[in-house]
Amino acid sequence: MEESKYIWMDGRLVPWREAKVHVLTHALHYGTGVFEGVRAYRTVDGRTAIFRGKDHVKRLFNSAKIYRMEIPFSEEEILEAMKLVVRENELEECYIRPIVFRGYKELGVDPSGIPVRVAIAAWKWGEYLGRGALERGVRLKTSAWRRIPPQSLPLEAKATGNYINSAIAKMEARDVGYDEALMLDYRGMVSEGTGENIFIVRDGELFTPPLYASILPGITRATIIRLARDLGYSAHESEITLADVYTADEVFLTGTATEVTPVINVDGIVIGNGRPGPVTRKLQRMYFDVVKGKVEKYKHWLDYI
Ligand SMILES: Cc1ncc(COP(=O)(O)O)c(C=O)c1O
């Protein structure tokens, strides 16, 4: 990864290489952390802005609340700290990673009483699914592993522990030459990727799995639903089968890291004509215009640093 100069830890900036924790940190052993993935972009007027920063901070606080963690800072302070990290690292465009986690005190499973710590890092991160993914599109493989069922863990929370499920599916897909895994929920309905939501396009309408299909309620997913509707498309949250994906006209993934990435092949089956489709392209273009502050109507989603 491309290292920056500073990381914000528990209220102050420390040099990147000194942002360390003890090996007996609770979160390292039991996955007791919550986090966010945020991006900042250079906007048309030359200033850098965090995209939907307040929504990410809100989700971070909600994730912490679900796991009974009290963040020792206010939402405003965390947003300001995110801006500070971008500014002090002199980053024009970057990925921002706030994490709230149970620190070091005791090592029983019970996290109550273990200090809650907060860190925010930011660094340059290009295309999440590999160079050229946004232009060319990616290939998915359906994972043998099912997404964590909502009866087992609250998937509205973006918790670090959830990602062991994502990691095993991702390795499985990468090991046989695919770019990303497609995960089904515990019922066998389409859920999401390992770090992104999925949309299909059929006859000019958009469909994406509902919240109860074990998905993380993505902020990019919500953005795309809104942009699609404003552009005159119907966008539905509805059950999707694997066969629906195979026979869709277009498929794409959304996520802060992934942005809007076309999918051209799933399990060896070519999607549409094997090239990113026109609806995907239009929404992708619109998304980048919005994050770069080119569309007046959505400028309220930008937090200038
Ligand atoms: C499992 C999972 N699903 C979906 C998403 C997309 O969410 P967002 O658009 O808020 O980044 C992410 C990324 O945070 C994720 O990790």
Residue ranges and CATH numbers for the domains of the chain are 6-123 (3.30.470.10), 133-291 (3.20.10.10)
How many CB atoms lie under 10 A from the CB of residue 74? 11
The model's pLDDT over 159-187, given as tens digits with 9 standing for 90+, comes to 999 999 999 999 999 999 999 999 999 99
The model's pLDDT over 209-246, given as tens digits with 9 standing for 90+, comes to 999 999 999 999 999 999 999 999 999 999 999 999 99
What is the average pLDDT across 7-34? 98
Q: Using most ligand atoms within 8 A of CB, pick from 54, 156, 158, 163 the residue to mutate for ligand 1.
A: 158
What is the average pLDDT across 294-305? 97
pLDDT, the chain, mean: 98
Identify the band that residue 1 occupies on the pLDDT scale cut at 50, 70 and 90: very high
CA angle in degrees (0–180, nearest 5) for 142-147-150: 155
DSSP class per residue in the chain? ----SEEEETTEEEEGGG----TT-HHHHH--EEE--EEEEE-TTS-EEEETHHHHHHHHHHHHHHTT---SS-HHHHHHHHHHHHHHTT-SSEEEEEEEEE-SS--SS--TTSPEEEEEEEE----TT-TTHHHH-EEEEE-SSPPPPTTTS-TTS-BGGGHHHHHHHHHHHHHTT-SEEEEE-TTSSEEEESSSEEEEEETTEEEE--TTTT----HHHHHHHHHHHHTT--EEE----HHHHHT-SEEEEEETTTEEEEEEEETTEEPTTSS--HHHHHHHHHHHHHHTT--GGGGGGEEE-
> What local confidence, expressed as pLDDT, does residue 187 receive?
98
Identify the band that residue 298 occupies on the pLDDT scale cut at 50, 70 and 90: very high
Is 284 in contact with 134 (CB distance < 8 Å)?
A: yes
Identify the band that residue 196 occupies on the pLDDT scale cut at 50, 70 and 90: very high
> What local confidence, expressed as pLDDT, does residue 16 receive?
98
The model's pLDDT over 107-129, given as tens digits with 9 standing for 90+, comes to 999 999 999 999 999 999 999 99
Is 93 in contact with 85 (CB distance < 8 Å)?
A: no
- Two structure tokens written together for 95: 């990925």
177 Cα–ligand 1 center, Å: 23
192 Cα–ligand 1 center, Å: 9
> What local confidence, expressed as pLDDT, does residue 54 receive?
98
Gap between the Cα atoms of 234 and 206, Å rounded: 6
158 classed as catalytic: yes
Q: Is 10 left (phi over 0), alpha (psi -120 to 50) or beta?
A: left
Torsion angle in degrees (nearest 10) through CA of 214, 166, 39, 260: -70
Nearest CA to ligand 1 atom 5: 196
Q: Using most ligand atoms within 8 A of CB, pick from 163, 216, 227 the residue to mutate for ligand 1.
A: 216
What is the average pLDDT across 79-95? 98
197 Cα–ligand 1 center, Å: 6
Pocket around ligand 1: residues whose beta carbon is below 6 Å from it? 37, 166, 192, 195-197, 216, 218-221, 254-256
112 Cα–ligand 1 center, Å: 27
For residue 53, give every residue at least 6 positions away whose Cβ sits within 8 Å of its Cβ, in sequence order, or none: 38, 79, 82, 83, 303
The model's pLDDT over 28-85, given as tens digits with 9 standing for 90+, comes to 999 999 999 999 999 999 999 999 999 999 999 999 999 999 999 999 999 999 999 9
Gap between the Cα atoms of 88 and 130, Å rounded: 27
Nearest CA to ligand 1 atom 16: 195
> What local confidence, expressed as pLDDT, does residue 148 receive?
97
- Two structure tokens written together for 170: 């991702």
Nearest CA to ligand 1 atom 2: 195
The model's pLDDT over 259-297, given as tens digits with 9 standing for 90+, comes to 999 999 999 999 999 999 999 999 999 999 999 999 999
Annotated catalytic residue, options 83, 141, 158, 170:
158
